[in-house]
Structure 1
Amino acid sequence: MKTNSHAPPSNLMDLLLDAVCVVDTRGCFAFISAAGERIFGYTPEEMVGRPMIDFVFHEDRAKTLQAVDGILDGHLQPHFENRYVRKDGQVVHIMWSARWSEADQVRVAVARDITERMHADTLQAALYAISDAAHAAEDLVALFQQIHHILVELLPAANFFVALYDKNKDELTFPYAVDEYGEAPGPQKLDSTALSAEVVRTGQALLVPPNSGEGLPGRPPSDVGRDSSNWLGVPLCAKNGVIGALVVQSDCAEARYTNKDIELLQFVADQITPVIERKQMEVWLQHIAQHDPLTDLPNRELFHDRLQTALRWAERNQTPPQLALLYLDLDKFKQVNDTLGHPVGDLLLQEAARRLSQCVRNSDTVGRVGGDEFLVLLNGITLPEQALSIAEKIRVALGHPFELAGHKVHISPSIGVALYPEHGDDYKQLIRYADEAMYAAKKSGGNRVQVTSSPSMLNTPKS
């Protein structure tokens, strides 16, 4: 039968707010005063005889055992701090004052619950850390990495992800996701059954305890991780609505997220929401400055920048693959504008841009450089025939009828082709040669692909 065999002769100790604990040479509790139940959630009888380390939060066990070694070597530990897991799963912060009693061959320690103080301190520390991260992060991913580092110090957050909601697309994406056992989820519609979608839809925090059961009413499947995990998500609430969610997940079954963790994570979410909005605005402004507003393709400035970058890379390597530049003009586009109106003409340009993008690889670039003119940069072309094959693919794709606002529209492209290094190594020169070849194709009746002649045979460029 377990007894408090090391209990002092009086019950005055039971009046203390701090808990007095005695641990024997086996590392098991031999005595715990009455205050232990308030701090740890267990009665003294439930803890006596059990290993002390079993009650320590798993992430703090290594440093706790290291501190125990110091105590056994005779070193006093007056202000050692670690975390314990209460019977209800709440993680509490404890400050210990401990020493070794050689006469009794036991460790004697006094435990003080400092959870409330730590909570206030962590909120203040988090505020400063988030402010620093907001100014230091170059982009959203860097910001989320910094926030993750901050959260790991505040609560169990080894698994953490950010969901952002695009209202225009009605789509939830996951730009940052760290999970020990899974990968980042793909884009999801807001009406999906994912937990994060539920958080965004309702604008309310959602706490799912471990082992809540697959298929439990109101329990949608987790976005990331295991059904046995602790799952906590809070909304990113902006003035114009919910823009996403922050989610933490823990596989420590004995330690469960609590209302204080909800408060802490929501505090972090509220602090970073304006930062996310600001950085999204910066990205959007940069995007519209470099993209055509109608087709969302790279504009002239961005296309020229990518072409120059590709030429510098090719010059440094000085070996195949080559580059190819296509200059396109839509035949009969003016006729469409004049007969069907500019709104239909705009739809035609948008659909032509979409078809163009589908004809090339992700490593290539399609840009709109004005009116009905497009440029296409083909990277990694080892043979000129490859560029001609892609140009022909584009010609055929644009030759199919377009269904636009109830009208069937037929157009065709005139395509000029210039190659690096065969036709030059300067971006302006290559554009000029491709432009000349495109006009030669148009003068020959259009709906064809024309490779530039040798530079010496080209006409003087138009002013």
Structure 2
Amino acid sequence: MNSLSFPALGKYIDLLLDTVCVVDKTGHFIYVSPSAEQIFGYTQAEMMGKQMLELVHPGDRQLTLHTVDRILAGEPQPHFENRYIRKDGETVHIMWSARWSEADQCRVAVARDITRRKHAESIQQAVFAIAEASHNTQDLHALFAQIHLIISELLPADNFSVALRDNHSAAVTLPYSREQVVVTFGDASTKMANQLLAQVLDTNHAHLYNAVHEHQQLQSWLGVPLKSHSGVLGALVLKSFSAEHHYSEKNMELLQFVSTQIAAAIERKQMMARLEHLALYDQLTRLPNRTLFYDRIHSAMARAKRNKGIFSLLYLDMDKFKAVNDNYGHTAGDLLLEQVARRLESCMRECDTVARFGGDEFVVLLENIDAPNQALTVVQKIQATFAHAFDLQGHEAHIMPSVGIAHFPSDGDTEQALLRHADRAMYAAKLQAN
């Protein structure tokens, strides 16, 4: 090649949508065809003499250098892909066909913009990944973490939050938030994020905000609503403090598209959680029911057998509960059961289980105890808590529980044996109290 061949060739390659690039041995552009401006955003004049590596996306520079070494070694690269940063800051995906010209001591390459194809592929992959996550994750928090990873494949998401809005109370919670960038102006940034979230939820529309802070650091916020067929569930909020990337209208459109899939996944997980709660929890007291309790005691027994440990079971029945129903009505009786549940929970540790077996019967599973007499300490605590009167919508009721205790393994080595022993002990305590 010689210097005259480039203008002559340019008469024909001006018609190409792909771009012809010629780079010298030091990595500087010495020729680009006119279509380069459509791909890179720079004019021909601006690209001449520019170092090629400066335009390559930072995440692809090592890969690009490795590929350049192979080209210089005489290995043509017909389908090499990498990313470049356009003049306007956008990322463009390029597929190259490149080879080294030993005679002219330069690399000759043809660049094809495949951004739209990569964009479509990434969206499709994200949609599939979200659908898979909605089925495979165990709970909402695990789903949010997986969604965070999926979004991170599409655009910068180091600072990512999921907000959910309660349909009945309109209260907004932040069940998932990851802040990986620490900034000195955190309060101002948090305030802006909260304002953006409020805008998104008030208008049910996506919002984008870019600004340069007084510290001359670029800040970028992006928020989109999570819309489902039943309404707006909440919002996704992303923040970027990177000098190399700020959110754009294209980013907003992309996030809006996948947000509908995310909303569907969240709604499905919420529905499954509600069904599970209905199946495993008592609806009046919100305590575990028999089904969940049997699962808990089965697990506790397996752990105790494996570790040669012990645990205790308390069986409780409320004395004179029938009198409350007869004197004040079933509404007062239901209110009493709710208050009993809360008082029992207040006496327990986090590792203990309080369950309602039905009527006015409750069962407590005490795990991780060192000696059986620790169960007596818990019973004394319960009795002290129940010594205070219950307020039943203006009526006072003094209710005490009769309690039976069973210890594993001395009083039984099966769930049924332990419950029978504790039930008998409870009735014995009730007869003694009367």
TM-score (normalizing by structure 2)? 0.85
Letter in 1 for 2:338: Q
**How far apart in 1 are the matches of 2:386 and 2:49?**
81
SS in 2 for 1:92: strand
Alpha-carbon contact 1:6-1:30 (below 8 Å) kept = no
Aligned equivalent of 2:285 = 295
Q: Does 1:155 align with 2:155?
A: yes
**How far apart in 1 are the matches of 2:50 and 2:225?**
41
Alpha-carbon contact 1:89-1:257 (below 8 Å) kept = no
Alpha-carbon contact 1:22-1:29 (below 8 Å) kept = yes
Aligned equivalent of 1:430 = 418
Q: CA shift at 1:297, angstroms?
A: 0.3
Letter in 2 for 1:245: A
Taking only the aligned residue pairs, the percentage that are identical comes to 54
Residue pairs, 1:115-134, within 5 angstroms? 115-134=115-134
**How far apart in 2 are the matches of 1:210 and 1:107?**
40
Aligned equivalent of 1:379 = 367
**How far apart in 2 are the matches of 1:228 and 1:388?**
62
Letter in 2 for 1:30: I
Aligned equivalent of 1:305 = 295
**How far apart in 2 are the matches of 1:403 and 1:87?**
71
Aligned equivalent of 2:204 = 203
**How far apart in 1 are the matches of 2:73 and 2:353?**
68
Gap change, CA 1:133 and 1:379, over 3 Å in 2: closer
**How far apart in 1 are the matches of 2:279 and 2:137?**
22
Aligned equivalent of 2:275 = 285
Q: Deviations over 1:48-83 (max 9, x none)?
A: 444322222222222222221221112222222222
Aligned equivalent of 1:23 = 23
Letter in 2 for 1:257: Y
**How far apart in 2 are the matches of 1:250 and 1:337?**
60
Aligned equivalent of 2:37 = 37
**How far apart in 1 are the matches of 2:346 and 2:230?**
35
Q: CA shift at 1:135, angstroms?
A: 4.7
Gap change, CA 1:400 and 1:31, over 3 Å in 2: farther
Gap change, CA 1:136 and 1:114, over 3 Å in 2: same
Structure 1, unpaired ranges of 5+: 183-191, 215-226, 447-463
Aligned equivalent of 1:399 = 387
Letter in 1 for 2:35: A
Alpha-carbon contact 1:164-1:245 (below 8 Å) kept = yes
Q: Does 1:67 align with 2:67?
A: yes
Alpha-carbon contact 1:295-1:350 (below 8 Å) kept = yes
Q: CA shift at 1:141, angstroms?
A: 4.9
Gap change, CA 1:228 and 1:406, over 3 Å in 2: farther
Q: CA shift at 1:373, angstroms?
A: 1.5
Structure 2, unpaired ranges of 5+: 183-192
Letter in 2 for 1:209: N
Alpha-carbon contact 1:91-1:256 (below 8 Å) kept = no
Residue pairs, 1:269-348, within 5 angstroms? 269-319=259-309, 322-348=310-336
Q: Deviations over 1:244-299 (max 9, x none)?
A: 33344555422232222222222212123223322321221121111111011001
Letter in 2 for 1:414: S
Alpha-carbon contact 2:131-2:265 (below 8 Å) kept = no
**How far apart in 2 are the matches of 1:421 and 1:136?**
37
Q: Deviations over 1:25-50 (max 9, x none)?
A: 33233333433233222334444444
**How far apart in 1 are the matches of 2:303 and 2:4?**
77
**How far apart in 2 are the matches of 1:345 and 1:258?**
59
Alpha-carbon contact 1:91-1:255 (below 8 Å) kept = no
2:348 aligned residue (360, 374, 392): 360
**How far apart in 2 are the matches of 1:409 and 1:87?**
76
**How far apart in 2 are the matches of 1:24 and 1:203?**
52
Letter in 1 for 2:377: S
SS in 2 for 1:209: strand
Q: CA shift at 1:127, angstroms?
A: 3.9
Aligned equivalent of 2:187 = none
SS in 2 for 1:347: helix
Alpha-carbon contact 2:218-2:242 (below 8 Å) kept = no
Structure number with the higher helix fraction is 2
Q: Deviations over 1:133-164 (max 9, x none)?
A: 44555554554455445444433345544433
Alpha-carbon contact 1:417-1:437 (below 8 Å) kept = yes
Aligned equivalent of 1:455 = none
SS in 2 for 1:444: helix
SS in 1 for 2:6: coil
Give the RMSD, CA atoms, in angstroms: 3.0
Gap change, CA 1:6 and 1:359, over 3 Å in 2: farther
Letter in 2 for 1:435: D
**Corresponding pairs, count:** 419
Q: Deviations over 1:298-353 (max 9, x none)?
A: 0122112211221121012114xx21111222233222222222112211211221
Gap change, CA 1:195 and 1:412, over 3 Å in 2: farther
Q: CA shift at 1:198, angstroms?
A: 4.5
SS in 2 for 1:235: strand
**How far apart in 2 are the matches of 1:406 and 1:15?**
88
Q: CA shift at 1:415, angstroms?
A: 2.1
**How far apart in 1 are the matches of 2:114 and 2:282?**
58
**How far apart in 2 are the matches of 1:308 and 1:259?**
54
Letter in 2 for 1:66: H
**How far apart in 1 are the matches of 2:204 and 2:74?**
54
**How far apart in 1 are the matches of 2:294 and 2:43?**
73
Gap change, CA 1:176 and 1:71, over 3 Å in 2: farther
Aligned equivalent of 1:217 = none
After superposing the two structures, state which structure 1 stretch, 128-137 or 405-414, moved more.
Answer: 128-137
Aligned equivalent of 1:456 = none
Aligned equivalent of 1:461 = none
Alpha-carbon contact 1:159-1:179 (below 8 Å) kept = yes
Aligned equivalent of 1:9 = 7
